[in-house]
Amino acid sequence: MSSIIYLKEYASLPPVDIGELFRYSGLGKSEPSYEFLSEVDEIIKDAEGKLTFKICYRSVDIDYSDNCIMLENLRSDSGLLKRRLKNSSKAIVFAATVGMWIDRKIIRYGSVSPLKSLIYEALGNERIEALCDEFENDMRKKYQYTTDRFSPGYGDFDIGYQRDIFRMLDCQRKIGLTLNESLMMSPSKSVTAIMGIEKCGDDGEKTGKCEGCSLLNCTYRIND
Amino acid sequence: MNIKEYIKNNIVLLDGGMGTLLQERGLGSGEFPELWNITHPSDITEIHTEYYNAGSNIVLTNTFGANRLKFDSETLDKIICSAVGNAKEAKKRSQGSREKYIALDIGPTGKLLAPFGDLDFEEAVSVFSETVRAGVKYGVDLIFIETMNDSYETKAALLAAKENSNLPVFVTNAYGSDGKLMTGADPHSMVAMLEGMGADAIGVNCSFGPDALEPVVREYLKYASVPVIFKPNAGMPKVENGKTVYDVMPDKFSESVAGMMQMGIKVAGGCCGTTPEYIRALACIKNGICPSDNKSKCETVISSYTHAISFGDKPLLIGERINPTGKKAFKEAIRNNDIGYILKEGIRQQECGVDVLDVNVGLPEIDEVGFLTRAVCELQSVCDLPLQIDTANYSAMESAVRRYNGKPLINSVNGKEESMRSIFPIAKKYGGVVIALTLDENGIPDTSEKRVEIAKKILKTASEYGIEKKDIIFDPLALTVSADKNAADVTLSTVEAIRKDLGCHTSLGISNVSFGLPVRDMINATYFTMALTKGLSAAIMNPYSNEMMKAYRTYMVLAGLDDNCEKYIGFASSVQLSAVTEPVKTEKANSNSAEGLYDAITKGMKSEAAAITEQLVLITDPLEIVQSDIIPALDSVGKGFEDKKIFLPQLLMSAEAAKAAFEVIKREMLKSTDKDAAGKMDFVIATVRGDIHDIGKNIVKLLLENYGFRVTDLGRDVKPEVIVETAKKLHAPVVGLSALMTTTVPAMAETIRLIKKEAPWCKVVVGGAVLTQEYADSIGADKYARDAMETVRYAEQIESLMKQKKGG
């Protein structure tokens, strides 16, 4: 097995999904006001060309021992992870980030305009998800059958596995992504995740983004 | 021969990659390569030997990640001892009589520095220092700092190298495809900072193959006066037949690098994917190239953590508003430790178009060392302009310059012995451009000639400290024209003489000229224009003054410095707008216009709320406005939020509109009293240790302030002791804590325990994404608040309980 870490950088992504941005900003089902919309427009324009869309990834073998699933040094008994990867013998482990710029903006407006901070925050969430979606699509094109991505912190897959993924991917050097003592990532608009490569499609297991999360009352929860 | 001597007449060859070679020899994924110095010394020695034999002058020890964040001190010492030993052994075994050196390799810590990460700057300096000291102890010839993608961490490493050794230091950074470091710095700003701090050679490594990195290297060659280093990857990796290969082969690699040698590169080697073969090819091709010397660039330049600004291209504006002199509200903010006030002034001046911010927080009764340093760090987390650090307190100056991320302006030195003795060592050690005032022990001379004499004396003394002429800017001192009718003219002649005769740049604090005169702005603006025509390079000025901005923008057009008059046209349209008395902007015609303050707040119209309040305070008592308009509007919005009819963005828009109204009211009230009359209960708020996100906390703070509470915001990642100390100092009845992730809840629990022990009167309200009622109960919180409104209601409850107690 090669231990090569690949780098992928997207020059651009599909346009911002305003509905998602509204959802992340906590707008609920209400109508955005003119003032809010113009703030959002201004911020989307400000961010044009400022974000970087970087991913580093590897493919690793999946093993099992003593009721645990193993991806190299990552060893977990998470039932949800095992279920997600049950038809896979290999997985893509990746880390993605949209870069530092948006963190600076969120902090810049923290004490001046929390509303602007909130919109930058929501934009960052929308963009990092869009980046992961784009990458997933590319991997799906390459491997035909892949599972949806699964991240440390989802359900019973402990957030502490973030450390193992960072070790596997040399994130700091490859894409400038760091992890602090509390397992928070900087830049904050970043994702680490695992997706299984399957031999054949599995129609029964495709579930929504929020499946398995224990925060049932979360404002952002999607029930589909 | 010392490497610094050798490099003068030779192109120096580095080694190539280490990681790929170690993997070929069996290094596993996740295994620390640094430990191989101890466990596989012969492998490491062989690799070094191969590089020396291939033609390397310098090999880098296998110590990229050797620091105490990854290894305990004993292991660290062993690693570095073995690593240097392996390199020495290789040097002995290798063939050829060419000059050979051993460099201590230092890579990033793997942690991000505060404010975006959780590694403190001084902690980073200390981590690097330990590695440097070990390298010195075991006998390396130079220190090589590489693959840094954060300017701040680069500064910490270079400072550690300088403070713990006298060895030459080489520094290379890793750039992204946008030509910037991950944290935003461009090559020009890195050159400014690193040369300012005295790096001996600087450049670029890792990231891409030689061709992709060429534009970045060209920038280095354009701005750098010290030798430039180029150490690219062998292109990008791919897998062929189960083996990792890189897509740029040795012959192509060496050809590209040789092209850059012809452009002026003095130090070359390879990074990821390069092998002894690549170095051999480089050694071959380099023989035909005559090393050209990098010319000294004589550029007067300062930088922030993103960009550099060069003096002389166009006159620069230095915003003067972060200075308490004559500002009641500012003094009040400093006394209250209200850093938010300073940040707001910074952002507002940047929006007005200044190039640099002057930072002065000098008040006799405060700890200026601590507060100035904090102000500089916090400003750098919200604003990317270079700063001019302005203090008469030398300890405060050193502390702030040390923490500054970039190459600052240092304000100021003067011709007095004591001043030069104190300021020049700071400028030399940390880098910086020094503003020098043309006065000395005998005061300010009244002729231009004598001021120029002082300038010459300052230049002479600076050079004794190793500070070049380019790093001194003269302020020939604008004096009050109402006291001496020739004052303005003498200063202007001095500006001209310093520019023409000494070839130095100048800066002027414009507004001094008009002391004692009515409508000072008019005098200031004309004086500013006069100075600009004499060649003034920078002005410390008030960017909120329309007259000053008019003078500047019109001068720029007329001097041919405003392409397509673009800046002027933008400015002119804003002047026209502000001339219109109607506060509602025409472009917002299709939004509902506000009928009164209540309406403006409930609809979330910020500028309207402020404009209407401006009108109201002329005819109504400020407290009356609060009672009859602002509070009812906030209540209505707050209730709508609680009933889930209004959502977070609308709540925030209204809250910000109310805040804009409050700011007008506060200003009015400060006119009549010295203190902020709000006088409601103290509320201390913070995001707990380890938690670096604070948007939720900021939202709660905004709402609490709207409801009149005196909020002390301790910021992000706050230690339990700091929170408790503040609660005790203020005898605060409530502390609000926020935590975003399960991993930071333990820090929250610890904070609560400490509060209950040391400030038992104090109630604790908690909130944050992962918290629930059960969670809050289990860590001993008095209250779990789901959102900002619930926190406000809780605070109101506590306050009314306190009143009842007092009453009873």
CA A34, CA B417: separation in Å to the nearest integer?
A: 62
- Which residues neighbour A148 within 8 Å (Cβ) at sequence distance 6 or greater? A84, A136, A195, A206, A207, A209
Distance CA B633, CA B616 (A): 16
- How many angstroms away from the CA of A36 is the closest CA of chain B? 8
User: How far is B394 from B362, CA to CA, in rounded Å?
Assistant: 12
Count CB atoms within 10 A of the CB of residue B92.
Answer: 11
Buried b / exposed e over B706-724, threshold 16 CB at 10 Å, is bbbbbbbbbbbbbbbeebb
Contact present, B783 and B766 (Cβ < 8 Å): yes
Structural domain includes residue B127 = yes
**Residue among B244, B344, B644 minimizing CB distance to A111:** B344
Q: What is the pTM of this model?
A: 0.92
Task: Pick B244's closest partner by Cβ from A4, A28, A159.
Answer: A4
Q: Which of B743, B784, B786 should be substituted to probe chain A, the one whose Cβ sees the most A Cβ atoms within 10 Å?
A: B743
C-beta atoms of B244 and A3 within 8 A: yes
Total domains in chain B come to: 4
Structure tokens, A102? 């948006």
Q: How many CB pairs under 8 A join A and B?
A: 173
Looking at the domain assignment, is residue B590 inside a domain?
no
Rounded to a whole number of angstroms, the distance from the CA of A131 to the nearest CA of chain B is 17
Low-confidence ranges of chain B (pLDDT < 70): 576-594, 673-679, 808
d(CA B726, CA B724): 5
Distance of CA B146 to the CA centre of its chain: 21
Contact residues on chain A for B123, CB-CB shorter than 8 A: none
Query: What residue of A is the nearest CA neighbor of B244?
Result: A4
Mutate to test the interface with A, among B70, B150, B384, B648 (most CBs of A within 10 A): B648
Contacts with B517 (C-beta within 8 Å, 6 or more apart), sequence order? B481, B482, B523
Per-residue model confidence (pLDDT) at position B592? 46
* Whether the Cβ atoms of residue A174 and residue A56 lie closer than 8 Å to each other: yes
Minimum-distance CB partner of B698 among A111, A173, A180 = A111
Q: Are residues B437 and B530 in the same domain?
A: yes
Of A101, A114, A181, the CB nearest to B698: A114
Q: Do B382 and A108 touch (CB under 8 A)?
A: yes
Cα–Cα distance list, B710 to A67, B510, B735 (Å) = 55, 37, 12
The verdict on residue B366 lying in a domain is yes
- Token output for B436: 């020098």
pLDDT > 80? residue A15: yes
Q: Which two tokens stand for residue B754?
A: 């400490």
Do the Cβ atoms of B649 and A6 come within 8 Å? no
Name the domain boundary from B548, B579, B610: B579
Q: Do B695 and A114 touch (CB under 8 A)?
A: yes
Q: What is the mean pLDDT of residues A196-206?
A: 70
**Tell me, what amino acid is at B58?**
I
Pairing of strands B142-148, B201-205: unpaired
Residues 6+ apart with CB under 8 A from B231: B14, B146, B172, B203, B204, B205, B206, B267, B268, B269, B270, B271
Kindly report the CATH number assigned to the domain that includes residue B496. Answer: 3.20.20.20
Place of tokens 């401006």: B614
Residues in chain A: 224
In angstroms, what separates the C-alpha of B638 from chain A's closest C-alpha?
15
* A168 to B29: CB separation less than 8 angstroms, yes or no: yes
B252 within domain boundaries: yes
Q: Does B591 fall in a domain?
A: no
Give the distance from residue B579's alpha carbon to the nearest chain A alpha carbon, in angstroms. Answer: 23
Q: Which residues in A lie closer than 8 A to residue B110 (C-beta atoms)? A: 172, 178
Quick one: B166 exposed, middle or buried, by C-beta within 10 A (0-12, 13-18, 19+)?
Answer: exposed
pLDDT tens figures, B40-75: 999 999 999 999 999 999 999 999 999 999 999 999
Smallest CA–CA separation between B700 and chain A, in Å? 10
Check CB contact under 8 Å for B112 and A9: no
Residue B358: phi, psi to the nearest 5? Answer: -80, 135
CATH code for the domain in which residue B759 is found:
3.40.50.280
Sequence-ordered list of residues with C-beta below 8 angstroms from that of B62, at least 6 positions apart, any chain = B18, B33, B34, B36, B37, B44, B83, B86, B105
In SS3 terms, B172-241 reads as EECCCCCCCCCCCCCHHHHHHHHHHCCCCEEEEECCCCHHHHHHHHHHHHHHCCCCEEEECCCCCEEEEC
β pairing state of B101-106 and B142-148: parallel
B462 in the same domain as B338? yes
CB–CB of B699 and A173 under 8 A? no
Same domain, B380 and B272: no
Q: For residue B737, give how far its alpha carbon lies from the nearest alpha carbon of chain A (Å).
A: 16
* 8-state DSSP, A77: -
Name the amino acid, one letter, at A155: G
Q: Give mean pLDDT, residues A60-78.
A: 92
The answer on B224 and B82 residing in a single domain is: yes
CB contact under 8 A, B117 and A34: no
pLDDT tens profile B702-751: 999 999 899 999 988 899 999 999 999 999 999 999 988 888 899 999 99
Instruction: Answer yes or no: do B701 and B659 share one domain.
Output: no
Tell whether B747 is covered by a domain.
Answer: yes
Sort out which chain B residues have CB atoms less than 8 A from A174's CB and list them.
Answer: none
Q: For residues B218 and B203, what is the distance between their CA atoms, to the nearest angstrom? A: 10
β-pairing verdict for B237-240 and B243-246:
antiparallel
Tell which residue, B107, B171, B169, has the closest CA to residue B142: B169
Q: Are the C-beta atoms of B179 and B207 separated by less than 8 Å? A: no
Contact A115 B656 (CB under 8 A): yes
Q: SS3 of B381, please?
A: helix
Structure tokens belonging to residue B757: 């022990």
Last residue of a domain, one of B638, B672, B706: B672
B493, amino acid identity:
S
Asked if residue B552 and residue B427 are part of one domain, the reply reads yes
Contact between A183 and B692 using a beta-carbon 8 Å cutoff: no
From the list A96, A90, A93, A97, the residue with the least C-alpha distance to A168 is: A93
Nearest to B149 among A103, A167, A176 (CB): A176
Peptide bond into A114 cis (omega under 30): no
Question: What is the separation of C-alpha B744 from the centre of its chain, rounded to a whole number of angstroms?
Answer: 26
- Can you give B644-659 as a three-state secondary structure string? CCCCHHHHHHHHHHHH
Whole-angstrom Cα distance, residue B618 to residue B101? 76
B56, two tokens: 């390397």
**Cβ contact B512:B478 at 8 Å:** yes
B341 and B394 part of one domain: yes
pLDDT above 90 (res A2):
no
Q: Show residues of chain A in contact with B699, CB under 8 Å.
A: 114, 118
- B183 shares a domain with B114: yes
Answer whether A118 sits within 8 Å of B702, measured CB to CB: no
- Please tell me whether residues B267 and B307 are part of one structural domain: no
What sign does the dihedral B190-B192-B198-B199 (CA atoms) show? positive
Domain boundaries defined on chain A = 6-205
Is the domain of B281 the same as that of B338?
Answer: no
Q: Is A64 helix (H, G, I), strand (E, B) or coil?
A: strand
Looking at residue B588, its pLDDT comes to: 40
Least Cα separation, residue A32 to chain B (angstroms): 8
Question: Within a domain: residue B632?
Answer: yes
**Residue B541: its H or E element:** strand B538-541
Could you count the other beta carbons within 10 Å of the beta carbon of residue B73? 10
Options 3.40.109.40, 1.20.140.10, 2.160.10.10, 3.40.190.10; CATH of A6-205: 3.40.109.40
Task: Give the residue numbers spanning the domain of B749.
Answer: 682-807
Chain B positions touching A165 (Cβ under 8 A) are: none
Tell me the CATH number at B661: 1.10.1240.10
Q: Which distant-in-sequence residues (6+ apart) come within 8 Å of B561 by Cβ? A: B314, B315
CB contact under 8 A, B603 and A33: yes
Same domain for B409 and B557, yes or no, is yes
Verify that B161 and B45 share a domain, yes or no. Answer: yes
Residue B293 lies in a domain: no
Q: Indicate the pairing of strand A53-65 with strand A88-97.
A: antiparallel
Shortest distance, CA B733 to any CA of chain A (angstroms)? 23
Residues of B in contact with A52 (CB under 8 A): 176-178
Candidates A35, A72, A110; nearest CB to B698: A110
Q: How far is B134 from chain A (nearest CA, A)?
A: 24
Helices (H), chain A: 18-24, 34-47, 79-84, 101-108, 114-143, 162-169, 171-175
Decide if A30 and B174 are in contact by the 8 Å CB cutoff. no
Pair of tokens at residue B800 = 């009314």
